[in-house]
Amino acid sequence: MISPFLGRLGFTLLFALQLAFAARYPSFGTVQTTNSSGVLNAVINNTASSTNLFDYRVQADLANLVETLQANDTDIRVVLFSSGNKEFFIAHIDVDFFLPGYESPLPFFDPGFPDMTFPTALLWNISQLPQATIAMVEGRARGIGNEFLMSCDMRFSTTSPSVLLAQLETSFGLNPGGGGAMYLSNLIGRGRTLEYVLSATDIDAVTAEKYGWINRVFDNSAAMKEYVHTLARRIALFPPAGINGTKFGVNAVSRPSREVIVQKAMAVIDMLAASPATQAYAARFLKATNNQSIGELELDYGQALLALYNVTEEELKN
Ligand SMILES: *[C@@H]1O[C@H](CO)[C@@H](O)[C@H](O)[C@H]1NC(C)=O
Ligand SMILES: *[C@@H]1O[C@H](CO)[C@@H](O)[C@H](O)[C@H]1NC(C)=O
Ligand SMILES: *[C@@H]1O[C@H](CO)[C@@H](O)[C@H](O)[C@H]1NC(C)=O
Ligand SMILES: *[C@@H]1O[C@H](CO)[C@@H](O)[C@H](O)[C@H]1NC(C)=O
Ligand SMILES: *[C@@H]1O[C@H](CO)[C@@H](O)[C@H](O)[C@H]1NC(C)=O
Ligand SMILES: *[C@@H]1O[C@H](CO)[C@@H](O)[C@H](O)[C@H]1NC(C)=O
Ligand SMILES: *[C@@H]1O[C@H](CO)[C@@H](O)[C@H](O)[C@H]1NC(C)=O
């Protein structure tokens, strides 16, 4: 029998080798993976950011993972995404992305999809992975964090008050550029989508479940994990061709098309991001959040954004 130490060492070596050969982009260690019986657990844990920001680090690590999962030689059939930060599943994109002088080790446009910005291509690729993709949400997911959830096949969460979902882009003078509001309108309908997205309002887990934004909510983390792990292991019994084939058809009718995302979401955000109003608000946001650090504004953005607009809840009511 292999000693636990050797087993661990072997795993570490294998993991290191796999990264060395497979990774197309630099690795930052923000997405930790383990797998067994065809189910891959991917924990998003961006320790460079107290809000689990969707910055270039997370994007690079997810892109490397996506490349592995796209390969036909993987035995993975289900991918479970969760977060290592209990307050933030993913706060939002690194807002610096929209500012002049932004520097990143990643290309602005995807080398494989030159008509798509890197994060847009990443979310598109996640939406059509051959595996079933399931998000277990604990913490806030706003902006591209919610768009990430939309690009997954299923979403589950706890009823914790830390679970808050939102498309916050309109408050920046932007639109959800990865197509998040389009996916959302397929889940919850046009009226509710526009109610929440135009007002950049946070939705809590219980309401999100009621509307169909989240598949199902659970009283606690253990109950969620038990349900989702059982579901994942069940799906992973089945031949991969059936999983991929079923997703192919459902995607065809319930996902915005590539052209629609590129022309009606991505091109629009690229145009709007340059506007003086957006640039001024982004600068103010970065200052007020101490560069997107954990604090009242990030924790409670749906309410706290009013301060950035110099109004109070009371004033809105009158
Ligand atoms: C699954 O885990 C094994 C080690 O147990 C590893 O060799 C393999 O690369 C992993 N697969 C993925 C897709 O990470
Ligand atoms: C702001 O935070 C992002 C994400 O952690 C980081 O990449 C960037 O360097 C920070 N900017 C400043 C000015 O500290
Ligand atoms: C996987 O197989 C599909 C269908 O044959 C093919 O289009 C695709 O290029 C393959 N992917 C990789 C990474 O080899
Ligand atoms: C996330 O990273 C931090 C810092 O390395 C670590 O303490 C924590 O255990 C990680 N969380 C998970 C769920 O992996
Ligand atoms: C998305 O997948 C395509 C292959 O279908 C690849 O060319 C492209 O680089 C990928 N981009 C990301 C960010 O995953
Ligand atoms: C998934 O199914 C579609 C439709 O049959 C096919 O074009 C694609 O190559 C399949 N992908 C994989 C990885 O098998
Ligand atoms: C709110 O007030 C600040 C400070 O006077 C000002 O810089 C900012 O432009 C105002 N914001 C809005 C949206 O009116």
Least confident of 1-15, 67-81, 82-96, 285-299: 1-15
pLDDT band of 8, cuts 50, 70, 90? very low
Percent of the chain with pLDDT over 90: 91
Atom of ligand 1 nearest to the CA of 76: 13
Position 22 scores a pLDDT of 56
Rounded distance from Cα 298 to ligand 6 centre (Å): 40
Residue 4 CB partners (closer than 8 Å, separation 6+): none
Rounded distance from Cα 236 to ligand 1 centre (Å): 15
Atom of ligand 2 nearest to the CA of 55: 4
Rounded distance from Cα 47 to ligand 4 centre (Å): 7
Q: What is the pLDDT of residues 163-209, one digit of tens each?
A: 999 999 999 999 999 999 999 999 999 999 999 999 999 999 999 99
User: Which residues share a beta bridge with 225?
Assistant: none
Average pLDDT over residues 228-232: 98
Atom of ligand 4 nearest to the CA of 32: 14
For the cut 80, the answer to whether the pLDDT of residue 1 exceeds it is no
Does ligand 3 come within 6 angstroms of the Cβ of 71?
yes
**Farthest CA pair distance, the chain:** 73
Position 234 scores a pLDDT of 98
Does ligand 3 come within 6 angstroms of the Cβ of 70?
yes
Q: Contact at 8 Å (CB) between 73 and 34? A: no
Average pLDDT over residues 281-300: 98
Whether this model's pTM surpasses 0.85: yes
Q: Output phi, psi for 161, to 5 deg.
A: -65, -15
**Assigned fold of 4-275:** 2-enoyl-CoA Hydratase; Chain A, domain 1 (3.90.226)
> Which ligand number lies closest to the CA of residue 22?
1
